[in-house]
Structure 1
Amino acid sequence: MTDKTIERNRILIIEDDTDIAELIAIYLHNAGFLTSTAATLRDADRLLEEERPQLVLCDITLPDGEGTEWVKSMRQYSALPVIFLSSRMEPKDIIAGLELGADDYMTKPFDPDIMVARVKAHLRRFPSAAGAGNGYADKERQWSDGRLELHFGRREVRVHGEELNLPAKELQLLFLLAEHPDQVFSVEQLYESVWGMDGWSDQRTVMVHIHNVRRKIEEDVALPRYILTVRGVGYKFQGGR
């Protein structure tokens, strides 16, 4: 990502701790980003509409509600990348945040440089998930078995003809697997390809997102038809193009 590209990206920071919000903004500004800051979810709604940010950094506990519920509601109409920043570091809290629609989860205290690196990684990958600059030669190529339809150029997913509004990371995982039918990807490979970082310590992030995709495209999550688990190795997409 070039500096010129970064300068066009605005980050919405939802954080009621002024010191933390200012620290995040300083590091993002030094990296070339624009920022908007909301101390409440009400302000976040307004800034989301007015500023049209490209990524959201969201605390979980806010004065007027839970960030998790805000993201869950936003996921009904937007696939905007979201990174939770929270002092809650129990595995159940992290998994719950990811299941509700977050793309990533960082626990406080966090290294600001790593936070910036993750923001850049998510922004590099979000355009392809949204359907722009995806690199496919055939923009009209699609795959269907009569139930599930994948439109590769448009990054569109349909089940029984009804379009699904999948968050960015879920789209990326699904299309990465579908682009390479029957090829087995390890959890580490999927994390590195989609999140852009060494993922040995974040395997649950991939597993939660895979589970979320399965809930939306499979008839029976316990007996998946499309995204199969290769025990001890990873995952693959079953069915070909």
Structure 2
Amino acid sequence: MVQNIILIVEDDPDIRELTSLYLGKKGYEVFIAENGLQALEIVNKEKPHLILLDIVLPGMKGFELCEKIRELTDVPILFLSSKRDSIDKIKGLEVGGDDYITKPFDFAELEARVRANLRRNRLMASNEHKKKRVLTYGHLSIDLDSYEVFVDGKLVSLYAKELQLLLLLVNNPNQVFSADQLYDQIWGIDSYGDLKTVLVHISKLRRKIEVNPSKPVLIQTVRGFGYKFNA
């Protein structure tokens, strides 16, 4: 089982060390930071799964640091503070915090909050992954929700008809379509134009999604019949 990584950002050495020792004994991999700059370095390098963040820090304050961390990651952030005012709790949530724990705290309660936030984050990530509909064929990925196309992870810009043509072929893998059929499906029977339009769009599409457009692998020509998407 992969260890959850926790970053503790706390300037009080006693609280920092005791919290680190307790969570370490509970099986977490713990990193500590005394200030905002150290914390940002660890976030970038170690990719923690959860962050315990003090509000009162030297230099960069906790609220400001939380906003900067949110630009890098969406992992749970639990504020640690001796302030019990509701205004501070509200501020902590507004800047991107997920929970607020007042000092002095019970270590067992702290770990329960840690476990709950880690579990909630895993469930959200799992649900988001399930909701996202992505088709992948080798180096080509198509997001069916956003209608974005990626080649080797890079976004490729397709015109509307190119995308419609690609989706028609992808949704009917290995089915051969004649140029007439493609024209009727994409441009419509009553549209004005000729079959060269299909050839031109197939050629443009290949240049954008094929590794070697002169030797297409994904959109193949079936001589004498038409085109198919090779799944």
TM-score norm. by structure 1 comes to 0.52
Q: Secondary structure at the match of 1:61?
A: coil
Q: Which amino acid aligns with 1:59?
A: D
Q: Structure 1 residue aligned with 2:62, among 46, 67, 72?
A: 67
Matches within 5 A, 1:186-225: none
Q: 1:110 to 1:138 in 2, by over 3 A?
A: closer
2:206 aligned partner: none
Q: Structure 1 residue aligned with 2:96, among 89, 96, 101?
A: 101
What's the CA shift for 1:51?
1.1
Q: Distance in 2 between matches of 1:111 and 1:155?
A: 45
Query: Does structure 1 residue 134 correspond to structure 2 residue 132?
Result: no
What's the CA shift for 1:111?
0.6
Where in structure 2 are there 5+ consecutive unaligned residues?
A: 135-142, 147-231
Preserved CA contact (<8 Å) 1:27 1:113: no
Where in structure 1 are there 5+ consecutive unaligned residues?
A: 1-5, 142-152, 157-241
Q: 1:19 to 1:154 in 2, by over 3 A?
A: farther
Decide which structure has the larger Cα Rg and report it.
2
2:9 aligned partner: 14
What's the CA shift for 1:7?
5.0
Q: Distance in 2 between matches of 1:97 and 1:107?
A: 12
2:114 aligned partner: 119
What's the CA shift for 1:137?
6.8
Q: Deviations over 1:32-60 (max 9, x none)?
A: 10100000111001111111110000001
Highest RCO, 1 vs 2 (Cα 8 Å, sep ≥ 6): 1
Q: Percent identity?
A: 41
Q: Distance in 2 between matches of 1:83 and 1:77?
A: 16
Query: Does structure 1 residue 42 correspond to structure 2 residue 37?
Result: yes
Q: How many residues align?
A: 138
Preserved CA contact (<8 Å) 2:40 2:69: no
Q: 1:66 to 1:138 in 2, by over 3 A?
A: closer
TM-score norm. by structure 2 comes to 0.55
Q: 1:32 to 1:65 in 2, by over 3 A?
A: same
